[in-house]
Amino acid sequence: MTELKASYQEVLCGLCKDKAPLTPSRFVVACEDGHLDDFPYAFWVHGTYPQDRDDHQLVLQAEGRTSSLADMVVICSCGQRRSMADAFNPSALRELHCTGRRLWLGKAYRQTGCSQPPRTVQRGASNVWFPAIASAISIPPYSEFLAKMVAHRSNTLSQPEALEPASTWVLEAVVKELDGRFSVEDLREEIRRQFHGDVQEEITDEVLRGQEYQALVAGQRESPDTDFVSEIMDVPKKYDTWISGVRKVTRLREVRALYGFTRLKPRTEDSPDVKLAELSPLDNHQNWLPAIETLGEGLFISLDRDKIDAWAASDFVVGRMKTLQRNANKAAKQRKQQSSKVDIVRVLLHTLSHVMIDQLSLDAGYPASSIRERLYVQNGIAGILLYTASSDSAGSLGGIAAQAHADRLASALAEGLDRHSWCSADPVCIESTGAGTDARNLAACHCCVLVPESSCELFNSHLDRGLLVGTPGEAHLGFLGWVNNAPAQSARSIGSARTDGSATQAQTDHSLWAPIFDGSPELHDVITELVELEVTPDQWRATFGASNQWVVDLSWTMKRVAIVVTQKGARDDWLADNGWQVFSLDELDARDTASKVADAL
């Protein structure tokens, strides 16, 4: 502003004869310590700062040939000119030192001696500002009306004099103003709790999450004086082997506070040392943070942690954890950072959470981008809270909480897990050994479990569909196959029921027929015969055709063999034209169909 001889009150150029209005520059420079300043146009065009700057008038001109940066040219009145094409190179301004400006704090707050190199960025680019946000769910007693009322009147009620007998009339006036919804003594107790209690250590996110989990599990009845309601619901019988509790959260309040920000790089679990820029100067530090509060509703599910831990000790899970850890170590080594430890239980819950978000977007009437997840993974606990908390049109309409009823939840889980048992990108997806940023995912892609970034706590990382549904040939080793012992036993007994009731090793291996047997009653007879013939399943309800428009009940892709329950002319003709042998249960009984399939394989 000073170089343009303009005042902060009147944003007009003092160098122009007609006092033209000033426009914010399209280009700025920033450093990783959070500083921000104008782009050094004079330095850029001359290679150094000219001593007689007043004799050098600069113009930023668009040539109009293309929309690229090469078309943006800085022209000086001395005849020098240079395009902006190379300005975004990381080493373009290596000869400059960062000015240390923190313009959001005011002109007086400039850090001297910043050693970070400045980088050119566009003013509206996403890497100019990465917010650091902490969020929390209000739980009792913080969610109660009395607590909120005292907090809103903290300027007066936080003073020690408020508890003295002489100030009783002030408290009585507050009670009267609120129609006597609580007594003076209740008000005193809340003031003591909030402002004059024992000095506590800083509450970490882990402690906060543990308190939220306990409040959700304990439940809270409907009351007009609370922003937190958690109703205890029945667990669907089909899933009570691994779901320990379901809560219908009809009302919740979420607070999201901004405690800093970064430039050029976000602060994540893989880069926790990225420096946060201050929101207020150190000599005028504030005891508050800018925050928003939103009201919403949600669905909470707690899982049997003992069964999860037992499953997590299996060779299948340990092998996939080692793959993820190896990928994390490799990425950390490239960045010269310490690698974070992979929590395979968190990966399982995170994947299940994304499956449910995708399904709730179909059943509950909310777009997936408005449904948020909150994971509770600590020693002895495992839970998922899916909720929406927004003030816009995708706010609290009751759609998610309604899914907590046992019949609706059972239906949503069945459909969601069935749809995600395969992916349109399979077998590439399910056989992946590293996907996503830094290969932090295994079987996860945009065709299956990735969700909008606004919904995910972990930036769409630490996901593996294989942990849930298993992998080809090892479906029974996934969590769903492992934990559902009853369906697996029924599948094993299919073959043994025809002999002496004991299952052979070969028949036991066919327990991977379990999810197919459990989900397709029309295939029970033919599956029984296939198990007896020791045929291993390949694909269930896979889609084929030029536009994947046809569903085939059972198929063995490598051998081009298929079983269909009913005949469909166009589909069956297409399969035959492409070299498939198709056996229909309309024409053959179960025994003949299984025999022909075994021969073909």
Contact 47, 40 (CB under 8 A): no
Kindly compute the dihedral angle of the four CA atoms of residues 372, 377, 382, 384, in this order, to the nearest 10 degrees. Answer: 0
Burial group, residue 222, by CB count within 10 angstroms (0-12, 13-18, 19+): exposed
The type of residue at 429 is C
Residues composing the chain? 601
Q: What is the pLDDT of residues 245-274, one digit of tens each?
A: 999 999 888 888 998 999 988 887 767 778
Strand ranges across the sheet with 539-544? 539-544, 550-556, 561-564, 581-584
Q: What percent of the chain has pLDDT over 90?
A: 27
DSSP reduced 3-state for 245: strand
Instruction: Return the structure tokens found at 249.
Output: 């959260």
Residue 411 pLDDT grade (very low, low, confident, very high; cuts 50, 70, 90): very high
Residues above pLDDT 70, as percent of the chain: 89
* Mean pLDDT comparison of 82-96, 435-449, 573-587, highest-scoring range: 435-449
Residue 262's alpha-carbon distances to 91, 111, 397, in angstroms, are: 20, 16, 35
Distance, C-alpha 537 to centroid of its chain = 34
Strands (E), 119-268: 119-122, 130-137, 229-233, 243-262
How many CB atoms neighbour CB 482 within 10 A?
19
**pLDDT at 478 exceeding the cut of 60:** yes
Nearest to 575 by CA among 564, 591, 588: 564
Residues facing 296 on adjacent strands? 252, 389
pLDDT value of residue 486? 37
Q: What is the pLDDT of residue 408?
A: 94
Mean pLDDT of the chain: 83
Give the pLDDT of residue 172.
Answer: 81
Tell me the per-residue pLDDT of 170-222, one tens digit each, with 9 for 90 and over: 888 887 877 777 788 878 877 877 777 655 556 778 888 888 888 888 888 88
pLDDT score, position 501: 37
Residues 442, 432: Cα–Cα separation, whole Å: 5
d(CA 371, CA 383): 16
Question: What span, in angstroms and rounded, lies between the C-alpha atoms of 195 and 174?
Answer: 17
Residue 243 has a pLDDT of 93
* Residue 327 pLDDT grade (very low, low, confident, very high; cuts 50, 70, 90): very high
Query: What whole-number distance in Å separates Cα of residue 15 and Cα of residue 4?
Result: 6
Torsional sign, CA 155, 157, 162, 167: positive
User: What is the per-residue pLDDT across 553-568, written as a single tens digit (0 to 9) for each?
Assistant: 888 877 889 999 888 8
pLDDT digits (tens, 9 = 90+) for 380-407: 889 999 998 765 544 556 689 999 999 9
Residue with structure tokens 């399904």? 359
Range from 336-340, 385-389, 476-480 carrying the lowest mean pLDDT: 336-340
| pLDDT for 237 beyond 70 | yes
Q: What is the pTM of this model?
A: 0.68
pLDDT at position 571, please? 85
Helix and strand element counts for the chain (H, E): 18, 16
Calpha distance 16→11 (Å, rounded)? 12
| Backbone φ, ψ for residue 419 (5° rounding) | -65, -35
